Amino acid sequence: MTERMPKEGHFQSAGIDNATGARWIHVTPQMARAHPQGRLGLILWAIVVINLGVGVLRTYYGVTITLLILPFALTNFAVALALALRAPMATLLVLVQVIAGIVLSLFVAPLPPDLLAMQAALGLGVLIYLFEGDRPNLIYRHRYRAYSDLDGGAKE
């Protein structure tokens, strides 16, 4: 399913972001989907596949060991689906998934401290990539980072 670039587009330049110092250019969702960077890359597909695998494992353990794990499996499936469909709410779902994974590890199915630390680090790494990466920003928030000067001229 290849989308065509719209004949007309709307670019909206935003001011400098106070948190990151970056300047963002907002585009329409149609423009973001039609751009080559608006498609999922290898890293995003890997995140989708890993979430599906973890969701299947949690479903298996939820059915065989305890039903308390099943709601956590749903977060994995929801994240995988939202990322694959390029839904703007995907980054929020990843945040919920990281928090749910930590809650699961601490209270429902305790993990050894090293596995808990690894799960939290991987989840935070994915979150940082989704919030700071150029491709995820275009796909999920329909914006791209402007690297040029605000005035278009050289600084003195």
What tens digit of pLDDT does each residue of 101-110 get?
788 777 776 6
In this prediction, residue 41 carries a pLDDT of 92
In this prediction, residue 45 carries a pLDDT of 96
Q: Is pLDDT larger for residue 149 or for residue 87?
A: 87
At a CB cut-off of 8 Å and minimum separation 6, what does 7 contact? Answer: none
Residue 140 contacts residue 46 (beta carbons within 8 Å): no
Query: What stretch of H or E contains 49?
Result: helix 42-64
In this prediction, residue 5 carries a pLDDT of 53
In this prediction, residue 118 carries a pLDDT of 78
In this prediction, residue 156 carries a pLDDT of 38
In this prediction, residue 89 carries a pLDDT of 92
pLDDT surpassing 80 at residue 1: no
pLDDT surpassing 70 at residue 81: yes
* CA of residue 148 relative to chain centroid, distance: 26
